[in-house]
Structure 1
Amino acid sequence: MENNTFLEGKIAAPLIRFAIPLMMSLVLQALYGGVDLMVVGKFGTTASISAVATGGQVMQAATVIITGLTMGVTVLLGQAIGAKKPEEAAHIVAGQIKLFTCIALLITVVLVCFAKQASLLMRVPEEALPETITYIRICASGMIFITAYNSVSGIFRGMGNSRSPFLFVLIACTINIILDLVFVGLFHMSTAGAALATVIAQASSFFFSIVYMKYTKKHRLPFRLKLSDFKQKGAVRRIISLGLPIAAQDFQVTVSFLIITSILNSLG
């Protein structure tokens, strides 16, 4: 905490060093769904392409809720670490774990149970409907890993470290590309293979981040997380109050893409 360069001296240089990996992470995340489309477009059918395009938009709408709330965690954690309040930082991380676990389970149940209704709402062509439902349900089943990965990345950024999250995204993208080629190109699993590759890639990235945090001394948490930290109620409320407006803003942008996709789907 004492070596955090944001706390003293000129701000421009450390800000640029922090921003570049963050921007590169966002670029990789934007290309993530594009990889599925490219591989399915190469080895699949037109219906498969439609399924991945529509299913990817639905999953993106769910994911931005998590990433928006994660920004709240990043800000609060950065404030606590900058103020040298390790106990408060531990409360925030514990609150994040409680909140995000509940949200991930809720999103998983909703998307798995209502995948067909979501697909019909998106006006998916009849030929692509079964594959769209399959894609959404498989991706939704791995929502806990998507949430966990974003949670860990938010913690690292709150500690002033944006390079490690970039590494996690890079690993996820690499695994996703390889598995896409194996499942879709080699085993001809179509949209199910693309969705499964996405889930496995996110899970692998999350488990790598945990091992990375645990066994890399330089990147360990600068505070100890105790069972009593999970009994604090104020941290969850603070995360929601700060992160919800960001999540709502990002969700509104995603809704516009959902509407455009729905209009295109109605053309057949």
Structure 2
Amino acid sequence: MSTSMTKGSPLKLMLQFALPLLMGNLLQQTYNIIDAAIVGQILGADALASVGSSSSVQFLVLGFCIGCCAGFGVPVARYFGAGDHRTMRNYIFNGAVLTAIIAAILMIACSLSCGQILHLLSVPDDIFGNAYVYLIVIFIGIPFTLLYNYLSSILRSVGDSRTPFLFLGFSAVLNIFLDLFCIIVLKWGCMGAAIATITAQAISGILCFFYIRGKMQLLRLEKENMIVQKDAVKELLGMGLPMGFQFSITAIGSMVMQAANNGLGSIYVSAFTAAMRIKQFLLCPFDAIGTAASVFCSQNLGARQADRIKKGALEATIAGCIYGFSAGLILIFFGRPLSMIFLSKNATAVLDASAKYLRCLGFFFGILGILNVCRMVTQGLGYSGRAIFSGVMEMIGRVIVSVGFVGTMGYTAICFADQAAWIAASCYIGPTCIWCIRRSIKLLEGKQA
């Protein structure tokens, strides 16, 4: 069911939109957590390290996919807000063609270079074999990841965040059973965990496809829409690629950070893996609020509602910061108990290292309210090229700390690399977002005059 966000209370509309998206993100992270918990508790700390040793490169590749799909949805939201449904459907088809091409290229390139990637990440020899098997399956499943993310992005562009959540919820439950079946019954080890994850993503994407085809008349393509249009492709790439590269550039810094951490030994790899799962879970509300703000601003840009853009961006930023400070307290005081989801209480050294990482994050978590909302609003207003530099700033922050300080400060430097990245990126994207909002309002007022 499509929903217009051009009338009504901005905060209420964004929260209503964000709630199913948040639940979907939490479910996705829940089955990631369960996946890691099953691996860590059943297969051991070394297997957990194998699964987590390549998390940064997964974020690089899969983040590029997610960013591109989100970018392809921005023009769709704008034309939906403007009421131009024919052009909207043209863009949906052209976005689907681009998504298929990107899926094929990434799957082939990443699968062929899987071994070299793990060597670049300095994955220890004792976990290299399992890490390779896990990562190659994830890479082979890239088309399924793109299928779900593109179709869910289209649904969200027209205000429907509920349907992707329902399908993702079903696949999350399925993933839990597949994890247990593949690891315990079939004894496929780390490969089984990857197969379960990819299968769950494939099913959620297929469900989205059949729902759109059968229930969403608004999004159903006719023969006249199925034409590759140069202008549409150019605009879609202009939105999608910068958003994809922003994720990837951010991930490059994370790869440098993870490579530095991997060099410290398996204890810190296991600790980092457990802590990252918890961090990613608590990041979900930021993603939901940011995406809601992006869709809200994009629809209102198409509808030429200048005042609503400004009000919506401000209210979303405040909501993000309030959540960030609250989540930070959880990380500070409950980091160690949360780490025990993945690790035995006997793994004292690993638990101590994981708790330290989370505690250090907690003091700075509120900054992400500014960073995520301002970045997504900037993208939603059509300034993806400017938003990409926030990813560059994140990369620079992580690289400086990882390369410059891990050698002397060890794991303590790893514990502060994310914070350096967040501060650097926020100092750029905050003023940039304000400029983009003011410019968009000025352009709208000029057109109305």
TM score, norm. by length of structure 1:
0.90
Q: Give how far 1:91 is off.
A: 1.6
Contact 1:184 1:194 (C-alpha < 8 Å) held by counterparts: yes
Q: 1:237 aligns with which of 221, 234, 237?
A: 234
SS at match of 1:155: helix
Q: Structure 1 residues 31-40 or 172-181, which shifts more?
A: 31-40
Q: How many residues align?
A: 265
- Report the equivalent of 1:195: 194
In structure 1, give the amino acid aligned to 2:183.
V
TM score, norm. by length of structure 2:
0.56
Contact 2:130 2:190 (C-alpha < 8 Å) held by counterparts: yes
Distance across 2 between alignment mates of 1:31 and 1:60: 17
- Report the equivalent of 2:100: 101
Flag as ranges the 4+ runs of structure 1 deviating above 4 A: none
Q: Give how far 1:172 is off.
A: 2.3
Q: Which runs of 5 or more residues in structure 1 are unaligned?
A: none
- Report the equivalent of 2:221: 224
In structure 2, give the amino acid aligned to 1:173.
A
Contact 1:55 1:135 (C-alpha < 8 Å) held by counterparts: no
- Report the equivalent of 2:252: 255
Contact 1:70 1:154 (C-alpha < 8 Å) held by counterparts: yes
Say yes or no: does 1:264 pair with 2:266: no
SS at match of 1:231: coil
Q: Give how far 1:32 is off.
A: 4.0
SS at match of 1:5: coil
- Report the equivalent of 2:126: 127
Q: Give how far 1:53 is off.
A: 0.4
Contact 1:57 1:257 (C-alpha < 8 Å) held by counterparts: yes
Q: Structure 1 residues 132-141 or 115-124, which shifts more?
A: 132-141
Contact 2:89 2:225 (C-alpha < 8 Å) held by counterparts: no
Distance across 1 between alignment mates of 2:159 and 2:7: 13
Contact 1:77 1:89 (C-alpha < 8 Å) held by counterparts: yes
- Counterparts of 1:123-162 in structure 2 under 5 Å? 123-162=122-161
Q: Structure 1 pair 6/230, CA: closer, same or farther in 2 (3 Å)?
A: same
Q: Give how far 1:194 is off.
A: 0.5
Distance across 1 between alignment mates of 2:240 and 2:34: 29
Q: Give how far 1:223 is off.
A: 4.8
- Report the equivalent of 2:168: 169
Contact 2:152 2:164 (C-alpha < 8 Å) held by counterparts: yes
Q: Give how far 1:4 is off.
A: 3.5
Q: What is the RMSD computed on CA atoms of the aligned residues?
A: 2.0
Distance across 1 between alignment mates of 2:222 and 2:136: 34
Q: Structure 1 pair 43/220, CA: closer, same or farther in 2 (3 Å)?
A: farther
SS at match of 1:161: coil
SS at match of 2:104: helix
Q: Structure 1 pair 255/35, CA: closer, same or farther in 2 (3 Å)?
A: farther
Q: Which runs of 5 or more residues in structure 2 are unaligned?
A: 266-449
Contact 1:58 1:136 (C-alpha < 8 Å) held by counterparts: no
Distance across 2 between alignment mates of 1:212 and 1:206: 10
- Report the equivalent of 2:74: 75
Contact 2:155 2:161 (C-alpha < 8 Å) held by counterparts: yes
Distance across 1 between alignment mates of 2:137 and 2:193: 10
- Counterparts of 1:10-159 in structure 2 under 5 Å? 10-159=9-158
Q: Give how far 1:69 is off.
A: 1.5
Q: Percent identical across equivalent pairs?
A: 27
Distance across 1 between alignment mates of 2:110 and 2:34: 22
Q: Structure 1 residues 171-180 or 26-35, which shifts more?
A: 26-35
Contact 1:111 1:136 (C-alpha < 8 Å) held by counterparts: no
Q: Structure 1 residues 206-215 or 187-196, which shifts more?
A: 206-215
Contact 2:212 2:220 (C-alpha < 8 Å) held by counterparts: no
Distance across 1 between alignment mates of 2:211 and 2:67: 24
Distance across 2 between alignment mates of 1:110 and 1:5: 40
Say yes or no: does 1:207 pair with 2:206: yes
Structure number with greater CO (CA < 8 Å, separation at least 6) is 1
SS at match of 1:94: helix
Q: Structure 1 residues 31-40 or 76-85, which shifts more?
A: 31-40
Structure number with greater Rg is 2
Distance across 2 between alignment mates of 1:48 and 1:188: 13
In structure 1, give the amino acid aligned to 2:57.
V
Distance across 2 between alignment mates of 1:36 and 1:125: 22
Q: Give how far 1:228 is off.
A: 5.2
SS at match of 1:6: coil
Distance across 2 between alignment mates of 1:34 and 1:261: 19
Q: Structure 1 residues 172-181 or 249-258, which shifts more?
A: 249-258
- Report the equivalent of 1:186: 185
Contact 1:36 1:52 (C-alpha < 8 Å) held by counterparts: no
